[in-house]
Amino acid sequence: MAKILRPTYIVPICVSLAWVFDFLFWGKAWGISFPIFTALMLVLGFWFANRAGFRPARNSLLLLVPILFFAAVTAIRAEGFTIFLAVVSTIFLSLILAITFLGGRWSQYSFSDYFAKVLLIFPMGIGLLRSSRPKDSGKRPSRPFVPILRGLLIALPIVWILAALLASADVIFADWLTGLFSFLKIDNAVEYIFRGFYILILGYLLAAAYLFALNKSKNEELLGLKKTLISPVLGFTEAATILASVCLLFAAFVVVQFQYFFGGTTNILGNSAGFTYAEYARQGFAELVVVAIISLFLFIALSTIAQRGKAQQQSWFSGLGIALMLLVSVILVSAFQRLLLYESIFGFTRLRTFPHVFMIWLGILLAGVVVLELLNRRRAFALAVLLAAIGFAGTLPLLNVDAFIVNANIQRYRETSDIDIGYLASLSEDAVPPLVATYEQAAVDGDEDLRQIAAGALACHASRHFDYSGDAAWQSWHYSRSSARQMWEQINSDPIFEQILLEPDGESRYVQAVMVNGQEHSCIPTSWD
């Protein structure tokens, strides 16, 4: 028979897990620590469930695949935005796992379900910590551990802030505090107080999440399934008018754009507005993407709040919605075409590669929304958005953004003899393997120009990353940094690196420039966008 784990049992374990978090992360470079902590968090959750006699829902177990994938990404890829999305995805999917642990109905969630339940998991979990504490039956004394812990959690930040203010206001009191911690022989007392505070907070939140998963995640009531959560407040005529007006605007834009779709470079260069090829490629790209996103969520919002009582009204609404999505798709193609032109002129950067991948997934999402509208499955819009977001976040590490940028720009150099060595040097350690591969292959092919370019980029890159010395702590081990260090140690004895390096200017610890093919190239990028 299933039993409920008491807070007096679960809280100390979660505080210990929070201390492990501090041990893995405090003062350490980003590395293998995140996947280790994620694995420990999952193992502990399943152990709690097993002791309580619960078995997770099969659908919930499916979430383990993307959770573990994104957690592993943080120790494999070094590119910042890829890591950020991986961390956010890991945390969000772990919260979904907690709120659907026993029920497993996450794939049926609407936007309201995600919004309400993810936001309420910690308040409701903390409520469980309070309500499920053992009561005093008169036969044994009550246990005050949890109330005392709650009081400490509230008191510590208040005492800390007030003590800091009092110490700033009175030198004698500040000296007394310093002497107090000196008497206790505690170095960096403020740091330890802060760390102890966030360890308690994190442990308490982890306990709340675990208790929610074991007590509140089985009988999942989906919002708006039995009774409409938000009554339609907008009439059909108003909603149809909005959709029709936006469709007419987009249709006019598409008609203008078609001359560029089919006219090629001649129409772009010969336009009456006087902009150049590069200006056309760059101008309005961000605005077109924002228009596409706004239009998508406008249709989703109207689907929620618009009245469609009759079958004929439903048909008209779906027809206008599908027309809108098709026109948005054409606008997205226009934005994608501009990006391709920009990339062909100036090469690849992160700020061009991220939108490149994003627009592909946005196009897939638009197609999915059209299909769901045709199937009358509007509740699944939330699932479509979630899967598209996971797809975008998962594509970046699989693509290996910085390695892709290096390979694409090397290929462009072969065609145009133009390359920004400084930008290649500004990339993360993920860029080192393709640079080393280019350097070695150019030596085999006898392409001395390309070999020097790759060597120059590697020399600048190693200088910016301090020869990949990194942090010696095992918690900071990172596959990309380790691989870059090993590759650099294997090739940096080549005399070519002494020949191309220019001494740093002044007190700078970076190499400022390299001499490549008889020309000085800056190690600083000429463009970031």
Q: Is 231 inside a domain boundary? A: no
pLDDT at 130: 62
Residue 204: Cβ within 10 Å count: 24
- Confirm whether 225 is domain-assigned: no
pLDDT score for 134: 47
Query: What pLDDT sits at residue 153?
Result: 65
Report if residue 334 sits inside a domain. Answer: yes
Residue finishing a domain among 344, 378, 399: 399
Tell whether 278 is covered by a domain: yes
Q: 436 and 374, same structural domain?
A: no
Q: What is the pLDDT of residue 280?
A: 57
- Report yes or no on 222 lying in a domain: no
What SS3 state is found at 349? coil
User: Would you say the pTM of this structure is higher than 0.95?
Assistant: no
Which residues sit opposite 521 in a β-bridge?
Answer: 514
Number of helical (H) and strand (E) elements in the chain, helices listed first = 21, 2
HSE value, Cβ hemisphere, 13 Å, CA-based, for 69: 17
Shared domain for 377 and 419, answered yes or no, is no
Other beta carbons within 10 angstroms of residue 273's beta carbon come to: 7
Q: Distance between CA 285 and CA 263 in Å, rounded?
A: 19
In this structure, the answer to whether residues 312 and 455 fall within a common structural domain is no
- Last residue of a domain, which of 399, 417, 439? 399
On whether both 430 and 359 belong to a single domain, the answer is no
Counting Cα atoms < 13 Å in the Cβ hemisphere of 179 gives: 6
Could you write out the three-class secondary structure of 144-157?
A: CHHHHHHHHHHHHH
- Could you tell me if 409 and 379 lie in one domain? no
281: tokens are: 């490629």
Low-confidence ranges of the chain (pLDDT < 50): 1-2, 134-141, 262-264, 267-270, 272, 506
Report d(CA 479, CA 75) in Å as an integer: 6
Q: Is residue 221 part of a domain?
A: no
Q: Is residue 229 assigned to a domain?
A: no
List the domain range (segments joined by +) for residue 444: 402-522
- The first and second tokens of residue 77, run together, are 């890829």
Kindly state whether residues 249 and 357 are assigned to the same domain.
yes
Percent helix, percent strand, percent coil in the chain, to nearest 5: 75, 0, 25
pLDDT, tens only, 89-144: 999 999 999 999 998 889 888 888 888 888 878 777 667 666 655 444 444 445 55
Q: How many CB atoms lie within 10 A of CB 469?
A: 9
Q: What is the pLDDT of residue 468?
A: 73
Residue whose token pair is 């998962």: 394
User: 243, 316 in Cβ contact below 8 A?
Assistant: no
Quote the CA–CA distance of 57 and 59 in Å, as a whole number. Answer: 5
Q: How many domains does the chain fold into?
A: 3
Q: Are residues 80 and 202 in the same domain?
A: yes
- Residue 53 is predicted with a pLDDT of 85
Mark whether 211 and 286 lie in a shared domain.
Answer: no
CA angle 314, 315, 319 (to 5 degrees): 115
Q: Which of 355, 372, 483, 375 is nearest to 429 (CA)?
A: 483
Nearest CA to 42 out of 90, 76, 74 is that of 90
Could you report the per-residue pLDDT of 77-90, keeping only the tens digit for each? 999 999 999 999 99
Domain check: are 244 and 383 in the same one? yes
Tokens describing residue 426: 């500004």
197: nearest Cα among 149, 239, 234, 141: 149
- List CB contacts of 242: < 8 A, sequence separation 6 or more: 298, 302
Q: Which two tokens stand for residue 321?
A: 């919605």
Both 39 and 149 in one domain: the answer is yes
- What separation in angstroms does the CA of 159 have from each of 168, 194, 223? 14, 12, 41
C-alpha span between 108 and 103 (Å, rounded): 11
> Does one domain contain both 387 and 412?
no
Contact 304, 268 (CB under 8 A): no
pLDDT value for 406: 95
Domain boundary among 338, 373, 399: 399
CA-nearest of 351, 358, 294 to 324 is: 294
Q: How far apart are CA 372 and CA 367, in angstroms?
A: 9
228 found inside a domain: no
What pLDDT, on a 0 to 100 scale, did the predictor assign at position 269?
A: 47
Q: Are 283 and 342 in contact (CB under 8 A)?
A: no
The answer on 240 and 271 residing in a single domain is yes
Would strands 519-522 and 513-516 be described as parallel, antiparallel, or unpaired? antiparallel
